[in-house]
Amino acid sequence: MTLFDVVSIVVSVLLLVIGFIAINSKKLIKGVIFLSALSMLSVVAFVLLKAPDVGLTEAVIGSGLVTSLFIFTLLSVKKEEVK
């Protein structure tokens, strides 16, 4: 087993785990942050799969702009009392 295999297995397992946490987290903001971490890890996966172009775009769009968009939307939404 080469180093490449080990790294790819670790990255794929981490991707699955982080994706699961992102879906299952109770607070929305936590889910958004884990989504950002998922994007960051998928950048590593893209570079391992020899697609640096896609990785660069994913790093900027997925973990930068989309995350900030979600966070700003969450900050703008007013909290209402649930009766």
Partner 1 sequence: MKNLLAFLLTIGLGVLIIFSLSSNTLFPAFGSVDVSDRVSNSYIDKNVLDPANTETIIFGETTDPESGAANIVTSIVVDYRSFDTLGEVTVLFISALGVALLLGSAPKQKRLALNFKPNFMLRVGSRALFGIILMTGVYVTLHGHLTPGGGFPGGAMIASSILLLYLADDQFRAKIKGFKTLESIAGSLYVILGLLGLVVGTYFLQNFLPNGTVGDLLSSGIIPIVYILIGLKVGSEISGVIDNFLTEEETI
Q: Which residues bind partner 1 (CB under 8 A)?
A: 52-53, 55-57, 59-61, 64-65, 68-69, 72-73, 75-76
- Give yes or no for a contact between 31 and 39, defined as CB atoms under 8 angstroms apart: no
Q: Which residue has the tokens 């958004």?
A: 32
Nearer to partner 1, 17 or 60 (CB): 60
Work out how close the CB of 26 gets to partner 1 at its nearest, in angstroms, rounded to a whole number: 22
Work out how close the CB of 76 gets to partner 1 at its nearest, in angstroms, rounded to a whole number: 7
What sign for the dihedral angle of Cα 16, 18, 22, 26? positive
